[in-house]
Each structure stands twice: as C-alpha cells, then as structure tokens.
Amino acid sequence: MTEYSVTILPENITVHVPRGTNLLMAAKKAGVYIESPCGGNGTCGKCAVKVVEGDPGAVDVSHLPDELKEMGLVPACNVKVNNDMIVEVPGFSRLTKHKVVLGTRKTRFGRENDYFSFNPFNPLAQKYYLQLEKPGSDDCINDLDRLKTAIYKKYGIENVEIRLSALRQLPQALRLGIWEITVTAVSIGKRTEIIRVEPGKSSRPAYGMAVDIGTTTVVVNLLDLEKGSIIGRSGTYNKQSVYGSDVISRIIYSEENSDGAGLLQKAVISTINQLTDELLETYSVKKDEIPVMVCAGNTVMMHLLMKVPASYLRLEPYVPGAVSFPEVKAAELGLSVNPDASVVTLPSIASYVGGDITAGVLATLINRSDKLTLFIDVGTNGELVLGNSDWLVTCSCSAGPAFEGSGISCGMRAMDGAIDWIDIDSKTLEVSCRTIGDTKPQGICGSGLIYSLSEMMDAGIIDRAGQILSQKSSRLREGPGGTEYVLVYAEDSGSGQDIVITEGDIKNLLRAKGAIFAGIRTMLQQLQLDVDYIDRVYIAGGFGNYINITDAINIGMLPDLPAEKYEYVGNSSIQGAMLVLLCREALLEAEELASRMTYIELSVGNLFMDEFISAVFIPHTDLSLFPSLIKE
Amino acid sequence: MTEYSVTILPENITVHVPRGTNLLMAAKKAGVYIESPCGGNGTCGKCAVKVVEGDPGAVDVSHLPDELKEMGLVPACNVKVNNDMIVEVPGFSRLTKHKVVLGTRKTRFGRENDYFSFNPFNPLAQKYYLQLEKPGSDDCINDLDRLKTAIYKKYGIENVEIRLSALRQLPQALRLGIWEITVTAVSIGKRTEIIRVEPGKSSRPAYGMAVDIGTTTVVVNLLDLEKGSIIGRSGTYNKQSVYGSDVISRIIYSEENSDGAGLLQKAVISTINQLTDELLETYSVKKDEIPVMVCAGNTVMMHLLMKVPASYLRLEPYVPGAVSFPEVKAAELGLSVNPDASVVTLPSIASYVGGDITAGVLATLINRSDKLTLFIDVGTNGELVLGNSDWLVTCSCSAGPAFEGSGISCGMRAMDGAIDWIDIDSKTLEVSCRTIGDTKPQGICGSGLIYSLSEMMDAGIIDRAGQILSQKSSRLREGPGGTEYVLVYAEDSGSGQDIVITEGDIKNLLRAKGAIFAGIRTMLQQLQLDVDYIDRVYIAGGFGNYINITDAINIGMLPDLPAEKYEYVGNSSIQGAMLVLLCREALLEAEELASRMTYIELSVGNLFMDEFISAVFIPHTDLSLFPSLIKE
C-alpha cells in the first residue's frame, strides 16, 4: 500500500497515510481536528485548509465562501492524498467546541460552601498594599528591609523572602509610587516569597491558574484570587496525543525516541500555554499578573510535565520517580505566565493513581466525611477510591480507553457528532439516537456505548456473554470483523459510512466495564465490606457527566445501588486544583491525605483476575450481585 | 588632537586614544594588561599582538620569536596608533601574574583553629552516600520518598528538598548504582536541598567556591568541602574597571548607558567565570561538582552582581536596594558552576560598608572578643570597624583610590614593576627603591607612596603641609604640574619615562590618609573613647599586606599606637566567605553581626570635616596625637 506524508502547519506534525486518504482524516491522525459539521460531505464549506506543498488534484470548491476561495483555500474533505503534502489549517477551520468537562455548576466546587465552611479563604498568592516610611538622613535603612518591616507591621508576616527579579523592581517602584507599593507574594507552607512589585496601590487582583492535565484533555481555569471566583475556563486536547493515546504508549515514546521526553514535555507545555494565552487575552490579564499555577494530573502526566524519567512506572514493581514534585518556577518549565510564578502540583498516590485523584478526594471532602464513599474517576484510565475520614484505599483498574472511543470501530470522543444516547425498539430493532451538538452522527462516545450495550441486551440482540444472537433484522449482518449491528446507515450518518457496533467492540466494552466493576469488588473484598455499606458513589471525570447510571448498572459496570446514592461530581481534578489555589491549607491536606491513602496493586494475587473474569458478562456471572435487575 | 579607536579582542572593548599612542597603553586603557617586562622598550618580545584591522605601520619585529613572526604578530610596544585598529591580544601576551592578595599564611583563616574552636566544621554543601532498600512488589514506594527516608535514617535530616534537575537524574542513578547513590545537598538555614545525584559511592568530595568581589580585583578560592581545605586560589582584575575605576563612576555608567547595569553585571560575572574556569581546569574539577558559591564584596559590587539598581546608593540619603540579597541559583546569574548551585552573599551593613567588611569581622572574630579592636580595610575605599563582643560601630571614609595608584602621576596598582619600598638619603637626597617582581620600575603602588611621603618628610624634601621645599638637588624640578621630585630617571625606569612625585600627588595622598585618620578619630570621639583604649588594630585588604606600619604612623595615616598592637589579617573578605562555606552557622552569625553593627554616616554633621581638615598635614595639625614622633 503506497503511503504519503502529510505535514500539518503550524504544528509541523507529519503523519503517513495510505494513498487516497481524505485530508480530514489525515489531519485527525496528526491530532488536528478540523470542523466538519456536514460530516465530510463537501457541502458546509467549513473545513477550508491551504495546501502549501503538493498537488491537491481537482478539488470542488463550490461550497467555500468567496473570500476563502480567493485565498486559495480548499475544503479538506474533498482532498484525497495522492502525493506528499504540506497543509496549513487556519484557526477558523479548527474544531474548538468540544465536550471537555470544564466543571459544571452542580459540583462540589460550585456549591462553594462545602470546603470553605471548614477552611479559611487563604489563597496561595496575594497582593499586599503598603505605605512605607520615607527614608531620610536619620533613617537610611535599605529598601528591602524597609519593605519587610512594613509587611510585618501591617500583615504580621515574618521573614518574607523575595525573588531577585522582584528585588530588581523594588528601588524604582518605591520611588515611582512615592513610598506606596503593592507586592504580590506566594505563600507555600511556611514560606512567603514576593515575586512582583508594583508602584502605588494596584487596582487589580492577584490571579491564579488551575490546570487539569489529563491524558486526553487539558483544562485551564483562570481565577481571581481576591474574590475567589472563576473568571474563565478553557480546555482542549493534550497535544501529547500525537505521541500515543494512552500513558503507556507515551512512556514508550519517551524511551524510544531521541529527546522523546523533551518532545512530550514540550507538547503538554504548549497545550497549557495555548489555553493560558487564550484566557489571558480574553480576559485582558497579563502574564506577569499570574504568580501561581496549580496542576493536577495522573502520575505519568506529572512525570512527563516535569520531564522526570517515567520508564520505571511501566516496569514491575511500578515505582514512580516521585509522587510529590518539588515546587518549580514557571520559567523552568517554559510556562507562559510570570517567569517567577510558583508551579505547584497535587501529590500522587502511586504509579497509576495520580494527583487528579488526590484532587478529587480533596474536592469531594471524602477524607472528612463519616460516610463510606466510593469515588470513581473514569477517564483514559479508571481510578477508584473507597473510604471515609478514618481510612482511604485506592486502586487503578486498567479499564482502557474504550469509553473514550479508542479500540471501538466507530468510537469517538465526546464531541460534536458523537452519539451519546440511543434507544432500540425491542420489537422492530429500530434505533433512535441523539448526538452531541445535534448534528449528523459521526460515531459513538462513551455514554452512547453504555446505552448501546444496555439497549442491545434489553432488546435481546446480544446475550449475557456479549455474543450477537442471530435474529431477523436487516441491521444485523456479517461485517469484516464478525457480526455487527448497524446503529446508523451511511445515508443518515455524518461520516458517510455506516455506524456499527461489532462483536469485537462489545468484547472491548465488556472488558472495560468489567475491569471497573472488578476493581470495586476487589477493594470491597479485601476490606471484607459488603457493597451495601457504601453510603454514596461519586462519579468524576470527563466521562462521568454523560453517563446514565441506570444503564451503567444494567450492563454491570457500576454496583447495583439505589440511584440516589450516585452523584456526579464533574471534573473534580480541576476542582481540587482550584481549592489549593484558594486555600494554602488545602495543599497540606492534599499531601496528608495522599500519604495516608492505601494503594492496592490489583495485579498482585489472583483476586482481581478472578473478579474480572466473572465481570466480563452482562451484568455479571453472579446475578445475585444485581438484585434490582432480577426483580425487573 | 586627533583620536583613533582601538578595539581589543576577544573582549571587544573599544577605547579612543590620541594619535601616536603606544598600543600597550591603548590596551591598558581598555583594561587589558599586556606583558612588558622590558618596560615597552621593544627588546623582550613578550607583548606580541595581532593587528586584525588597521595599518600598524612599519614595525620592528626583530625581537619576536620566529613562530610569532610567522603568525603575523607584532610587539604592541612598537606599534603607534595612527588609524583605527582592531587588535587581538593572545593569552600568552597577557599579564596574569599580579599582586592580588589571595590570603597569606599569616591570616586568621590560616591559623584554622580560631574560628573552628568555637564552631563545628559544617559546610554549606555536603555529599551523602546512601544504600537504599531495593523496591519490590510489596514495597513500590517512589524513588524520591525512598531517598528521603534513607537520608533521614542515616543522617537525621528531615524534609530534605530536591531540585527538579536532580530529581530528573534520580531514577536512572538509583538503578545504575544498584540502589547505592551519592547525593550532594546544600544546607542553608533550616533547608537542605539536593542539587545533584550520582550513582554508587562517589570518590570525590563536594567542592565550594569563595569569591571576594573587590572594586578593583576579584579573587576566587576553590575549597574541598570534605577536608575543609583550600585547593587553589586565583585572582585578577575586575573587568568592570573599564567602565570606571571606582564605585561611583560605575553606578553612573549603569545609569547613563543603555543596559549599563547589564554590561557591568556581565563584566563581573565574566571575571568570576574566568577565574573559576581556570581553577576548575587546573585542579580537574567539573562545573557540576560545585554546588555552592559564597560571595563577599562591597554593597555596590553586590548590587551590580545581582543587577539590582544601584542609583540610590549614590544619592542622599544613600539607601541601598538591599543589604541581604536573596540566595539565587548560579544559572540565574550565568555563573559557570553547577546551574543549580546556591549563590550566597555576605550581608552588607550600609551603602558604603559592605559584605566584605562583615566577612572581615567574622573572620577576625572581633564580634566575639573582649578586646576593643579597630579594623581597617583600605581597598579602593576605606572602611573602618571599631568594637568588641558588646558593640560594633562602622563607617566608610572616602579615602579614594590614591593608594591603588589612581589620581597619582606615576601611580599604579601593586603588580610587577611597582615600587613598593623606597629609601631617601637625607643628605644626598638620592633614592634607593625596590619593585615587585624585581623588574625595572614602572610606577609606584600604595605602599611605595606611603614610604615616599614618609621618606620625603624625613629627608626634609617636603614640609608638614606637603609643600616641596626648594633644595639643592637635581631630583627636584619644576614639572608641568608644579614642583616634582624624581624618584627614578627615565634611563633606569621600565616605562622609559621619569618616575616622579608631584606636589599634586602629595596633596592627593594627604587627603587619602587624612580621610582614614579622620574616620578613626570621628568614631572614637562619637563614642568618647581615647585612642589608647584600642587593644589592637587589624589591617585588612589587598593594600594591607604591603603597608609599613611605622611609615603609615609617620605620615599620620594610622594612630600612634605601639607596633605590637597592629596586625595584618590579609584578605579578610575572602576568609569570611570561606568560613561561611565551611560552617553553616557562620552565615547566621554574619547576618546577626551585620544587623547589629551601628553605621556612622560621616557626612552628617561637621565632626568628620573638622577632623579631616586637621588631618591633611604630616602627621597632623595636632602633634600631641603622635607622641612617639615628638619623642624622635
């Protein structure tokens, strides 16, 4: 099969694709998502790109707006790759609206009072306005000690430190402000360090950035640290994705490529910078006004961010380089905020339970509650926490990225065009479905997959083992990968192809849901707890917001508990990061709770494997675990 | 007068000199000193340079070695500047042997026991060798926490911190060393931070650099922090000199030139780096092996090193930006040691009493002694300290750089060819003199100037007011700048010119010595102390090692106390820096003593001015202050 190279600008990412590949797909392979609301039918004119090098062939540009035609742009969906190409994708053709969970109103954080009823509002960075004594011949104390004395007198802060760059600003600022001055200081632990000096009384607050670094998506929130409010949110795909969709493949990339770790670090930093720049521009905040950034993410993401070798995370006995990373300055990582800004990370617990989970526990107050809580974060991986104020255990069940659409024939991420709900008529086997953004369906996302499995089971299309039963329906057919069920026919789909679920897809989904359920069961068994002891279940993560609990129980992914015990908590990773931004004590609490969490390594012993094998059924080999389903 | 520009490479410093200037002198103006043991007579062939651009004219190269001729080099002393030129001065033609006081055996530090009988040997940086438990499936604690636990168990150090770059080395080093490892950590105050990780057991010590940043000269000592010994010393001129010879002119340069402060910082950093590189190469030590550098210098030098605006130091009421500078990392300043090395500075006391004086007090233990001690540091400026363990006062008397040869017709720094001793026969008025390096005399240095004044007074050549008396001697004559006395005739000198002392020179010297004496008197008077209460006098600084006490008393520079009360302490600035390197407690002590030293601003009130006017005589208007001289 002849392959050609396609280089996407300005990212300068090159991919190799078979002859005849649609340019839309080639860009997707490069991790660049192009708008295509018409589903690549060449009718909407939204996917305009510029072919900088290589022959695009005869392209129908009739649907492009005139000004784009004049600029020499062509619709990507109409271009087939028949030679090496360099293609520029302009900003307006890029898919930016996507379902990255930015945190919803209905979250712990949104309620505002939960955490702050226990803790002071005491942000990591603050501005201090000071009126200093003017020096004279009888008082020629140096500028820095004059400042320190004033801070101590007014705010009671002793031994305040100062960054060299701030000290360089001090003499001029004091005289410009006629001995009135505003300093921005970051307080971590017992240390308070001035990182910025402004003459006079500043009318602007100190700002802070909270960052959730997911394997798939990165979210940045801009906060006003004076009011304690969220000013803006921004999210996008982690640019590391082009080096591998899951953490293991990225670690391997870092090992096998020259400066692989450097490239991965650059990719995530560039992702954060893009979001940061966007927020700063939108809300007219300057880089220098950001004195602190708090990052939460899984352990591998933190290693890659810090460029600490991650190899040993994937080798037995799975030892991280660190779980708590030292505070670093933004300039050391190349982050585009104040170069002296403190970059603080939430501590991880183990190789596969990261700071995002610590953040989640912190944000949901599980560690302070009497109630026995099960916390489930289903992202690219599945992490579980079980516990209360007395004890906390955690584990990671490698659920895999099936619920993010990976390894599923027509799977896709939860973005415009993704089927997120379906209904199958059990008599006719006809399908109704809904897509995100109400556009023509292009594929199926995680929640759509759960619905599909549940509906196919209820309609008798599959048996408990996930086997497709032979029935009289034109939607059931033999495909290249075995028996498949057609959800959407090509003529109705946005991709111009049938959207199907194959037996192979079903197996993958069963393994994914089985891993989560087996993880929960293993934890309970190790603690000799009955599932009914669980007082509540928190569902977190990008996935969590779109999941239907009833169907998730129906397929045996979640334990059979009353619906009222379940609660969505949204993106609790960024909520935890925001709490740390707004409350110094929260960082200490995060460290304390991370260090006392007991990590259960599921790969040790046979318990998990036994549970897993029993869980790769719908809902389970042991139906007694799902009494409400039996009742039905 | 036509002027031409001469650019010296590789420094790329351009100076403007009158037509016909000798290239040797042009280079000197650029702060580049070329070897000229024959005194510029064109006979030694040591001053070879390469004229890269411009016409050197017909140059006699007969005394150059053949290989230099072949390289197209010419003797700088034979080249007259008759057009713009670019000239490269190779390393072997540069004057590197000069009398920078590197610390002598007869110093406080050399005695070794004085300080360390009171304090533990407890260096700022140390290596820690550790054998870690190998992880297993039942112990998959992360590398960093494993390391922290091991350090705590073996060395009792809690909460050790780590630099990101060291953390990046950790996973690999642990496995390469098969769980044996050596870490280098810097301990300042209560913080201990790992900045380097090596696999296995390191056979090499941690090293440290002590730096004395003088206005005129910079000295760097390389220390073995395991043995506490000095490995090597190196000194040279402060490259900032080309921007002005004294601190005030450098501050003005920093203000009046675009990026003036940047250029000054670069100059001193490049000076330190040159010395550091030299030491590291000589003693086969790698940059990464230097985890800590301690710098002592005057307040202006510290501002220029840190690039903190120094303008307000020279404007009433003379307020420094800081006296204690924050610890910074070597990379922030561009110092060529380990990029993560801590750069620690000794705290200053006031605008004109710097960390070099704090270092001096620390090294001489004045602050711990019952004895009332007078400490005199005569460098480019003159600083005084008076006190004991109960109290300490200090002042700066702007003695000016006369004793370093500036503002004196034939003055020069204490380097090869400088007259440092003279004897005048009072009958014949004939002169015997000695030079440093026993070469032909080229000028007179500080100690030579004191001898000259004293001898001229004793020989009746000058009166008490410094007026040259008309006497019958061919050595006395009218010169362009008034009456002058010829010390060395042109035919005997290395410069080919008469070496003279003019009445103007004498006035400058009287002002310099008068300022020091007046400073001492002012301090004593403010404290209502008689001079006899002084138990001992410490003479410090580059100058101090070459001064003759009897003659210094004779001209009224030093108080008339018995010779046994005087003691040379050498370069106490670098001694103090070394103490801080070798003893953590010393840094705290330095901060404590600097903060409790009372600074007397001599420009406030009339006391100093009155004293100064009385002191511009030989030895003084009030002869009763010099009873031993009256006796003679």
**A119-165 confidence digits (pLDDT tens):** 788 999 999 999 999 999 889 999 999 999 999 999 999 999 999 99
Asked if pLDDT for residue A341 goes beyond 80, the answer is yes
Number of A to B CB contacts under 8 A, please give it: 122
User: Which residue on chain B is closest to A303 by alpha carbon?
Assistant: B168
Lowest mean pLDDT among B119-123, B412-416, B422-426: B412-416
Give chain A's contact residues with B (Cβ, < 8 Å).
Answer: 135-137, 139-145, 161-164, 167-168, 170-172, 175, 306-309, 311-312, 316-326, 328, 332, 350-351, 601, 604
Helices A503-526, A446-458: crossing angle, 10 deg rounding:
100
| CB-CB neighbors (< 8 A) of A322 in chain B | 142-145, 167, 170
Instruction: Tell me which residue in B168, B323, B604 faces A142 most closely, judged by beta carbons.
Output: B323
CA distance B90 to B48: 8
- Chain A partners within 8 Å of B192 (Cβ): none
- List of residues 6+ apart from A70 with CB closer than 8 A: none
Query: In B579-601, which positions are buried (b, 16+ CB within 10 angstroms) versus exposed (e)?
Result: bbbbbbebbebbbebbeebbbbb
Closest-CA residue of B relative to A332 is B164
B-chain CB neighbours of A175 within 8 Å are: 312
Q: Which amino acid, one-letter code, is at B46?
A: K
Mutate to test the interface with B, among A313, A319, A596, A603 (most CBs of B within 10 A): A319
Calculate what percentage of chain A has a pLDDT beyond 90.
65
CB atoms B601 and A175 under 8 Å: no
Would you state the pLDDT for residue A543? 58
Mean pLDDT of A548-567: 92
- Residues from chain A that touch B312, judged by Cβ atoms under 8 A, are 143, 171, 175
pLDDT of residue A89: 87
A604 min Cα distance to partner chain B (Å) = 8
Residue B110: per-residue pLDDT: 43
- Which residues on chain B are in Cβ contact (under 8 Å) with A320? 142-143
Cβ–Cβ below 8 Å for A140 and B319: yes
Residue A479 neighbours by CB distance under 10 Å: 15
In Å, how far is A316's CA from the nearest CA of chain B?
7
Give how far A351 is from chain B: nearest CA, Å: 8
Q: Look over chain A and give the mean of its residue pLDDT values, rounded to a whole number.
A: 89
| Residue contact A317–B350, C-beta within 8 A | no
Sorting pLDDT into bands at 50, 70 and 90, what band is A216?
Answer: confident
Are B74 and B61 in contact by the 8 Å Cβ rule? The answer is yes
pLDDT, tens digit (0-9, with 9 covering 90-100), for B530-540: 999 999 999 98
Report yes or no: A218 and A271 within 8 Å, Cβ to Cβ.
yes
Minimal CA separation from B151 to chain A, in Å: 16
Query: Any bridge partners for residue A376, and if so which?
Result: A384, A539
Report the residue of chain A nearest B602, measured CA to CA: A137
Are A337 and A329 in contact, with CB atoms under 8 Å apart?
no
How far is the alpha carbon of B176 from chain A, nearest alpha carbon, in Å? 13
| pLDDT per residue as tens digits for the range B107-116 | 334 444 467 7
- CA distance to partner chain B, nearest, from residue A88 (Å): 36
The 8-class DSSP code of residue B405 comes to T
CA atoms A394, A396, A402, A405: torsion sign: positive
The partner residue sitting opposite B317, judged by closest CB among A136, A162, A326, is A136
- The distance of B160 to chain A (nearest Cα, Å) reads 11
Say yes or no to pLDDT of B101 above 50.
no
Rounded mean pLDDT, A241-249? 87
* Amino acid type, A212: D
Selected for mutation to probe chain B from A146, A164, A304 (highest B CB count within 10 Å) is A164
Q: Do A323 and B145 touch (CB under 8 A)?
A: yes
pLDDT at B102 over 50: no
Q: Which is it for the CA torsion B426, B428, B434, B435, positive or negative? A: positive
| Cα-to-chain-centroid distance, residue A569 | 14
| Minimum CA–CA partner of B162 in chain A | A326
Partner residue opposite A171 with nearest CB, options B312, B317, B318: B312
Determine which of B163, B192, B195, B308 to mutate to test the interface with A (most A C-beta atoms within 10 Å). B308
Asked if B168 lies within 8 A of A306 by C-beta distance, the reply is: yes
**pLDDT tens readout for residues B545-555:** 567 888 999 99
Q: How confident is the model at residue B64 (pLDDT cuts 50, 70, 90)?
A: confident
* CB–CB contact A168 B350 (8 Å): no
**Triad B186, B188, B194: Cα angle to 5°:** 25
Q: Which of B319, B324, B600 is the best residue to mutate to test the A interface, defined by the most A CB atoms within 10 Å of its own CB?
A: B319
| pLDDT of the residue at A516 | 95
Q: Which residues of A132-151 are buried (b: 16+ CB within 10 A; e: fewer)?
A: beebeeeebbbbbebbbebb
**Which H or E run contains A165?**
helix A164-176
Residue of A nearest to B333 (CA): A164
Q: Which residue of A has its CA nearest to B340?
A: A332
The residue with greater pLDDT, A40 or B606, is B606
B13-33 pLDDT tens trace: 888 988 888 898 888 778 777
Chain A residues near residue B141 by CB distance under 8 angstroms = 319
From chain A, the residues in CB contact with B140 under 8 A are 317-319, 350-351, 601
pTM: 0.82
Does the beta-carbon distance from A312 to B171 stay under 8 Å?
yes
Query: What confidence category does residue A546 fall into, taking pLDDT thresholds of 50, 70 and 90?
Result: low
Q: What are phi and psi of A331, to 5 degrees?
A: -65, -30
Q: In the predicted model, is pLDDT for residue B98 greater than 50?
A: no
CB contact under 8 A, B139 and A175: no
pLDDT, averaged across chain B: 89
Taking any CB pair shorter than 8 Å as contact, residues of chain B touching chain A are 135-137, 139-145, 161-164, 167-168, 170-172, 175, 306-309, 311-312, 316-326, 328, 332, 350-351, 601, 604
Exposure string of B40-73, with b = 16+ CB inside 10 Å and e = fewer, is bbbebbbbbbbbeebebeebebebbeeebeeeeb
Band (pLDDT 50/70/90 cuts) for residue B37 is: low
Q: In chain B, what residues touch A306 (CB-CB under 8 Å)?
A: 164, 167-168
Q: In this predicted model, which residue has the larger pLDDT, A45 or B392?
A: B392
Nearest to A326 among B141, B145, B164 (CB): B164
pLDDT confidence band for B632 (50 / 70 / 90): low
Cα separation of B163 and A306, whole Å?
A: 11
Which residues, 6 or more positions from B632, have their beta carbon under 8 angstroms from its beta carbon? Answer: none
Which tens digit of pLDDT belongs to each residue from B229-265?
A: 899 999 888 999 888 878 999 999 999 999 999 999 9
Asked if B604's CB is within 8 angstroms of A171's CB, the reply is: no
Most confident of the ranges A91-100, A244-253, B282-291: B282-291
Name the phi and psi angles at B571, rounded to 5: -80, 85
- B144 contacts A322? CB cut-off 8 A: yes
**Residue A455 has what pLDDT?**
93
What residues of A are in contact with residue B324 (Cβ under 8 Å)? 144-145
CB-nearest partner of A321 from B142, B320, B350: B142
Q: Give the tokens for residue B82.
A: 């008759």
- CA atoms of A556 and A520, how far apart (whole Å): 11
Question: What is the average pLDDT across B348-359?
Answer: 96
Give the model's pLDDT for residue B38.
Answer: 64
The verdict on a CB contact (< 8 Å) between B164 and A325 is yes
Centre a 10 Å sphere on the Cβ of residue B618 and count the other Cβ atoms it contains: 25
Handedness of CA B555, B557, B559, B563 (dihedral sign): negative
Q: How would residue A105 be classed by pLDDT, with cut points 50, 70 and 90?
A: very low
Q: What is the mean pLDDT of residues B264-280?
A: 97
